[in-house]
Amino acid sequence: MQLIRRAQWGAPATSPAAKVASTRGVKVHYLGSAYASRTHDRCDDYVRQIRAAHLANKKENYSDIAYSMLVCEHGTVFEGRGAHRRTGANGSATLNSRHYAVCALLGTEGLTRPTDAMLAGLRDAIEYLREHGDAGPEILGHRDGHPTACPGDELHAWVKRGAPRPGAPAPKPKPAPPVAKYEPFPGAAFFTAGRRSQIITAMGKRLAAEGCGRYAVGPGPAWGEADRKSYAAWQRKLGYIGAAADGIPGPSSWAELRVPTTGK
């Protein structure tokens, strides 16, 4: 990590901003104005320019440069307010307390695409704030929770990918959760000699889980009056009234109950 401390780029060694013990994580920003690519020896000039502009902003009444850290196109990290200091860049006092703010020296015109060195520097800044500022695991864009275009579409897409280091292998996609399988409506077989005790037992467990169980014993394995009363309670929970809540399963109420398949 190439880190330039406040005093090295011309700010007081310690920010006057309010202290914070920890944050939920970090929000990524860009400048939101035109910015021209430059040689590295001119990047600190621009950081000083940002601080001067913020201090002159009477509407926002900044006490210091607004950002926690800043990163230039060459990958160098400039200490802004730094760790354990509340940022001023996220849009409100509440948002400023929840996340640090790391700003890429990236514009809406001129230099508009982050370099690999810049992305690596942003990642360095995030990890620095985690280690030294008790930043939590969240990595968000400024627009996440505040109405703004910041940090621009390309940087925001990078954030949404988890803010990976350039060249890092793409994370393996998480396996899709298993598709839940439910018992189809059993129809008339439910009440005949050919009924399946496994389904009745599974149904009763679902009714009990929904707070509709009226069982003294069981449920299952055979259909009985406790099942009917329990199912009637389920129908009433669904909004059925009168004769419609007769305790006899029908296709619609059964589909809503989602009885797990017994596999039999």
pLDDT in tens, 8-42: 999 999 999 999 999 999 999 999 999 999 999 99
Q: What is the CATH number of domain 3-160?
A: 3.40.80.10
| Angle at the Cα of 248 from the Cα atoms of 243 and 254, rounded to 5 degrees | 115
Instruction: At 52, list the tokens.
Output: 């001067």
CA atoms within 13 A on the CB side of 199: 18
Q: Who contacts 178 (Cβ-Cβ below 8 Å, separation ≥6)?
A: none
For residue 222, the one-letter residue type is A
Beta bridge partners of 78: 4, 70
Q: What percent of the chain has pLDDT over 90?
A: 75
Name the least confident of 149-163, 164-178, 181-195, 237-251.
181-195
Longest dimension (CA), the chain: 88
CA–CA separation, 102 vs 1, rounded Å? 15
Overall pTM surpassing 0.85 (yes/no): no
CA–CA separation, 149 vs 108, rounded Å? 10
State the pLDDT confidence band at 192, using cuts at 50, 70 and 90. Answer: low
SS3 assignment, position 254: helix
Q: What is the mean pLDDT of residues 210-224?
A: 86
CA–CA separation, 5 vs 132, rounded Å? 14
Read off the pLDDT of residues 78-130 as tens digits, 9 standing for 90 and up.
Answer: 999 999 999 999 999 999 999 999 999 999 999 999 999 999 999 999 999 99
Q: What percent of the chain has pLDDT over 70?
A: 95
How many helices (H) and strands (E) in the chain? 8, 6
State the pLDDT confidence band at 183, using cuts at 50, 70 and 90. Answer: confident
| Strand blocks (E) in the chain | 3-4, 23-29, 69-71, 77-79, 99-104, 135-141
